Structure 1
Amino acid sequence: MASATITPLAALRALREHLIAGKNVSVEDEFLVFYDVGGTENHRLPKHSATAYYSKKLDKSYDLLAVYTCFKHETLSFSDYVLKCREEKAAMVSTVDKKELVAYLKGDIESSLQILDANGQPTTKRGEKDRRSGAKKTREDAKESSSVKKRKMLQEQEKEQEQPRPQKQDKTLSQMETEAKMKRMMDKEYVIRTRTTVLDAHKTKFDNVIQTLELVNAETKEKIEKATKASALVATTTARKNNCRYID
């Protein structure tokens, strides 16, 4: 259902409230159609209805279609935006007006000096706008400061995690002292030397090795001689016994 005649300021505010609420808007023939949350048509306005948003360069206001097209394609590059305006047959919003207009439609700012009333006067005074802008800037600065603090804290935590942790000592001080005592005790122990261990002794010299070999050889020779004599004695005794047996 088409709405009755609407003032430029009311048309602009109606579009702004609808967009801030996240409700859908579409262009159908010669109308700008406003839908509710459920997708049902709420009302419609002539798309070329004048709004209260005036251009800084031109002494005229933008119509509803120009304002909505600017909002809908705010992320496009300038050249792509120009093509869209030609395609949708919408008037272009100047680049000097675009930023503040989009901010107003999003609800980032409450008013603008470019929004004029029926008498052609700004609907907000410059001082009031400056105060609102200052309050918004203060909130943004506080938010940015909080973000910086959080970012700094995260960086410090990452640095702490990257620092190498001290390696765990393999042995405690008490264990090292105990081992030192045991070593001193072992050094004082008497080592029994044999023909085998003498070769492994830490004080072994070449002369000692030769003497040891000579000693081993002498002992071996002595054992062989004793074994030979014992064998000979056994053989002699056996022969005598056999001779005595034959004589008998």
Structure 2
Amino acid sequence: MKFAVLVFPGSNCDIDMLKAVEDVVRQPVDYVWHTATDLSDYDAILVPGGFSYGDYLRCGAIARFAPVMAEVRKAAEKGKFILGVCNGFQILTEAGLLPGALIRNNSLKFRCHPVDLRVENAGTAFTNDYEKGEVVRIPIAHGEGNFYCDDETLARLKANNQIVFRYAGENPNGSVDNIAGICNEAGNVVGMMPHPERAVSDLLGSADGARMFKSALQAFVSQAASAR
């Protein structure tokens, strides 16, 4: 299984993401610059956190026009696995690959600390190693992590089981329905504000995030076996 970690000007979690893949699942992984026009060699695409293009206009609003995003869309349509974390989540919503939007935290403050998350959907490409209802601990680091959508979209997310994570304790940003992460209807594209790549070892305070990378590998192996 081959992973791509996208890199935009202003990305700052790309190294963490690449090291998580190397340390947890030990699969091939490359940095891929935002000008890339071919992602066909990759089975999973990771869109990391940071401040792409300085977060000018809105978080992710410029990054969604980067050449590589056309390839991300193609990969999503082909069923390849895509994970957007923090700024990566913002980019995926701006690109229309996930519904809703991320707006300023209701406190208007940057929040950076561990949070408890409840796993709401254990059937996605990135959550199959968890149990539905399980509570895990993964850190956040964002100023614009307040997930917003209208009532119609929220009803659709619930009906299609697209809510992947909810904040289990304090809601740190005011997101609607305590949503911390969602997926597309197919379950191969996941976006979340907390940082699983920062929770891959007990030395970091939690290893709960490592299972997202293990899930992706398990999903890929299962998919490959079914294709035989």
Question: Shorter-chain TM-score: which interval?
Answer: under 0.3
TM-score by length of 2: 0.23
Larger radius of gyration: 1
Higher relative contact order (CA 8 A, sep 6+): 2
